[in-house]
Amino acid sequence: MRILLWHVHGAWTTAFVHGGHEYLVPVLPGRGADGRGRARTYDWPDAAVEVTRAQAAAAEVDVVVLQRPEELDGLAETWLGGRRPGLDLPAVYVEHNAPQGRVAELRHPAAGRDDLVVVHVTHFNDLFWDTGGTPTRVIEHGIPDPGERYTGELPRAAAAVNEAARRGRVTGTDLLPRFAEAVPVDLFGSGAAEVGPPVRAVGDLPHARLHAELARHRVYLHPVRWTSLGLSLLEAMHLGMPVVALATTEVVEAVPQAAGAVSTRVEALVDAARELVADPEAARVAGMAARAAALDRYGLDRFLADWGRLLEEVAG
């Protein structure tokens, strides 16, 4: 089938466009948020095709995959030449994020609709979002397996957070210096340099190189307080890295204790990071447990099969 979706989250979209369909990806001359087109740093198949606004308006589309409130509120209709997702074309709304703000009072942008399905990427998101009767499904993440590449040769911790300084407490950026007092911490991601010492900024690397560099680090650090389940965490687990993570949102479901350490006690996590960095063999064993858990629950084949069933249902 032909699926229209915006390039919003690079890693998630990379998995999604491997599903064997044709994917129409809006593109604008400046490649801004409403028209990024094909990814530049991820490996996408040829089935992901860039379309201009005029091309999208004339295209035959089987399903629209919405991911942002503005797409629901008119952007998609404009690109589709007046066709309304849910009413004129089958549609699903993928919710990537946990609700922000006064959680108990927040309703989802697609709440109260019977003409589309809200697809959550974690059970935590499904639990916390109020969709007001709109049908929901949970399709957990799945990623292409980068392979077991862990060497752990660097006695350092690695964290991967985009715009860490701006996102602050949400992504646990304020906790990184506490970890850096115990073990050297390297921060990957856009805007890493804005965090400053004692955290060492590596910056934003192409996807393939990112995997290689992460896998050289002894332990993966996930200090996130409140976001959806980070794909960088799942990628690190696939690589075979041991994990030290805050026990928040979906992490308690995704990361077994044998994979490293999961806790809401920061000092316990600091101690665990110190111990794993000091003990390469323990780190290797924990990394093996992390990879086994990731392959079992977050494999690409399961993800694509789940999406295939839902898309057939919605389009049919």
Contact indicator for 57, 79 with CB cutoff of 8 Å: yes
Mean pLDDT over residues 16-20, rounded?
96
Contact indicator for 123, 102 with CB cutoff of 8 Å: no
Q: Is the peptide bond before 198 cis (omega within 30 degrees of 0)?
A: yes
**Residue 79: which domain range?**
2-143+300-315
Both 158 and 290 in a single domain? yes
Indicate whether 6 belongs to any domain. yes
Token digits of residue 30? 């400046």
Token digits of residue 115? 């003409």
**Tens-digit pLDDT profile for residues 62-72:** 999 999 999 99
Q: Using the predicted structure, report yes or no on whether residue 41 has a pLDDT greater than 90.
A: no
Indicate whether 149 belongs to any domain. no
Token digits of residue 206? 């192409």
- For helices 280-297 and 231-239, angle between their N-to-C axes, nearest 10 degrees: 120
Q: Using the predicted structure, report yes or no on whether residue 316 has a pLDDT greater than 90.
A: no
Distance of CA 31 to the CA centre of its chain: 21
What CATH number does residue 275 fall under?
Answer: 3.40.50.2000
**Tens-digit pLDDT profile for residues 207-250:** 889 999 999 999 999 999 998 898 999 999 999 999 999 999 99
Structure confidence at residue 40 (pLDDT): 87
Enumerate the H helices of the chain as residue ranges: 10-16, 53-58, 69-70, 76-79, 123-128, 164-167, 176-180, 207-215, 231-239, 251-254, 266-278, 280-297, 300-315
**Tens-digit pLDDT profile for residues 132-141:** 999 999 999 9
Indicate whether 189 belongs to any domain. yes
Indicate whether 148 belongs to any domain. no
Both 131 and 191 in a single domain? no
Is residue 104 very low, low, confident or very high in pLDDT (cuts 50, 70, 90)?
confident
The number of distinct structural domains making up the chain is: 2
Both 172 and 273 in a single domain? yes
- What's the predicted TM-score (pTM) here? 0.93
d(CA 110, CA 120) in angstroms, rounded, equals 12
d(CA 8, CA 138) in angstroms, rounded, equals 19
**Tens-digit pLDDT profile for residues 80-89:** 999 999 999 9
Both 71 and 197 in a single domain? no
Both 158 and 77 in a single domain? no
Structure confidence at residue 109 (pLDDT): 96
Indicate whether 55 belongs to any domain. yes
What CATH number does residue 87 fall under?
Answer: 3.40.50
